[in-house]
């Protein structure tokens, strides 16, 4: 049963036109083919899951969308503009944010600073103003602090805001990762295994956060997940990758019934 149907008073989410699309993406490292001719699109305000066995190329796909990896072939289209490859900071400027499988938090900084760093793009005051830290620079810093505190409240982590992230338990670190991505107020949020390593309660909390982000802010979500229950509950449509190729694309029910997907997960030789 889809989680959305259980929530009382949920606003009607209108799924929009495709906001993000990848077309014929191929990616190889030396001789290893990570992705072969993968194409799919993501509609605005949708929750799109990418699933597949280990090593299928899911993280690589997100890295391509983000600009961390450059594909050898194919195009990435965001809001109608097509590109052969993305630059990481450009993707941030365009409004794409992401979390990482292995966290990639700034271990030497506090929770507050990590999330504030996510807002660096929006800080306009230059070096000289920051050096004096008066007037406009101070106002700007405080204004952004307000927004970051809202995110911290939303993720229920105000009690650890000053703690260096390296010292936090794994579950809280995951929330900081999410908070940092949210700080940029993105249009598209790429989540790389946000539930990895969590117990049932933590997964319920994280699912709630993701749904809230999608419904309250209208953020489009692309999500890699291994937990099938989560995928079925949260997502509108699913893409299945195996050995770098797309083998299924449709609603959770359609994908669950697909023979190709069943074979892939059961390890049938092909």
Partner 1 sequence: MDALRRPSTIAFFALLAIAAVMPMVLGQAKFPQWLEVAIGGLLTGVLYSLVAIGLVLIFKASGVFNFAQGAMVLFAALTLVRLAEKMPLALAIVLTLLVMIAMAWVIERFVLRPLVNQEGIVLFMATLGVAYFLDGFGQAVWGSDIYTLHVGMPKEPKIILEGTFQGGVLVDMEDLVAAVIAAALVAALTLFFQKTATGRALRAVADDHQAAQSIGIPLNRIWVIVWSVAGLVALVAGIVWGSKLGVQFSLSQVALKALPVVILGGFTSIPGAIVGGLLIGLGEKLSEVYLGPFFGGGIEAWFAYVLALVFLLFRPEGLFGEKIIDRV
Partner 2 sequence: MIYRETGQFKTTYASDQQLFPILQDRAFVIAALAFAFAVVPFIASDYMFRAILTPFLILSLAALGLNILVGYCGQVSLGTGGFMAVGAYAAYNLAVRVPQLDLLVVFVLAGLCAAAVGVLFGIPSLRIKGFYLAVATLAAQFFIDWAFARIQWFTNDTPSGSVSAPPLEILGYAIQGPQRKYLLVLAIVSVAALVARNLTRGAIGRSWMATRDMDVAAEVIGIRPLTAKLSAFAVSSFFVGISGALWAFVYLGSWEPLAFDVNRSFQLLFMVIIGGLGSILGSFLGAAFIVIMPLVLNQLPTMLGIPLSTAMISDIEFMVFGALIVFFLIVEPRGLARLWAIGKEKLRLWPFPH
Q: Which residues bind partner 1 (CB under 8 A)?
A: 29, 59, 63, 68, 100, 102, 104
Structure tokens at 137: 């620079």
- Per CB under 8 A, 230 contacts partner 2: no
CB of 113 to partner 2, least distance (A): 6
How far is it, in rounded angstroms, from Cα 270 to Cα 121? 46
Answer for the pair 116, 184: CB distance below 8 angstroms, yes or no. no
Beta bridge partners of 32: 29
Answer for the pair 248, 258: CB distance below 8 angstroms, yes or no. yes
How far is it, in rounded angstroms, from Cα 54 to Cα 33? 14
- Per CB under 8 A, 29 contacts partner 2: no
User: What does 259 interact with, of partner 2, partner 1, none (CB < 5 to 8 A by kind)?
Assistant: none
Measure the N-to-C terminal CA separation of the chain; round to a whole number of Å.
32
Q: Please identify, using beta-carbon distances, which residue of 48 and 180 lies nearer to partner 2.
A: 180
User: What does 16 interact with, of partner 2, partner 1, none (CB < 5 to 8 A by kind)?
Assistant: none
Structure tokens at 70: 């450059």
Q: Tally the residues of the chain.
A: 270
- Per CB under 8 A, 260 contacts partner 2: no
User: What does 29 interact with, of partner 2, partner 1, none (CB < 5 to 8 A by kind)?
Assistant: partner 1
Answer for the pair 75, 60: CB distance below 8 angstroms, yes or no. no
User: What does 195 interact with, of partner 1, partner 2, none (CB < 5 to 8 A by kind)?
Assistant: none
Contacting positions for partner 2 (CB under 8 A): 66-68, 88-89, 91-93, 97-98, 100, 104-109, 113, 116-118, 120-121, 123, 125, 127, 130-133, 137-138, 141-142, 145-146, 149, 180-181, 184
């Amino acid at each position: 049963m889809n989680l959305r149907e259980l929530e009382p008073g949920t606003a009607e989410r209108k799924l929009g036109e495709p906001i993000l699309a990848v077309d014929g993406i191929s990616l190889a490292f030396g001789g290893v083919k990570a992705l072969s001719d993968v194409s799919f699109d993501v509609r605005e305000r949708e929750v799109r899951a990418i699933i597949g066995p280990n090593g299928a190329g899911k993280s690589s796909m997100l890295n391509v969308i983000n600009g961390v990896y450059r594909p050898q072939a194919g195009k990435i289209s965001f809001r109608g503009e097509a590109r052969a490859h993305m630059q990481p900071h450009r993707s941030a400027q365009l409004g794409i944010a992401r979390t990482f499988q292995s966290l990639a938090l700034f271990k030497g900084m506090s929770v507050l600073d990590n999330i504030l760093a996510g807002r660096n793009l929006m800080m306009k005051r230059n070096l000289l103003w920051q050096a004096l830290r008066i007037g406009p620079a101070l106002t700007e810093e405080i204004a952004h602090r307000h927004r970051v505190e809202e995110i911290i409240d939303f993720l229920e982590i105000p009690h650890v805001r000053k703690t260096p992230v390296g010292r936090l338990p794994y579950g809280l670190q995951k929330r900081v990762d999410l908070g940092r991505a949210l700080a940029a107020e993105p249009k598209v949020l790429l989540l790389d295994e946000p539930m990895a390593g969590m117990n049932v309660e933590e997964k319920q909390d994280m699912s709630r956060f993701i749904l809230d982000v999608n419904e309250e802010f209208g953020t489009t979500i692309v999500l890699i997940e291994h937990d099938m229950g989560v995928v079925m509950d949260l997502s509108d449509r699913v893409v299945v990758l195996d050995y770098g190729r797309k083998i299924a694309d449709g609603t959770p029910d359609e994908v669950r019934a697909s023979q190709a997907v069943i074979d892939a997960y059961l390890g049938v030789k092909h």
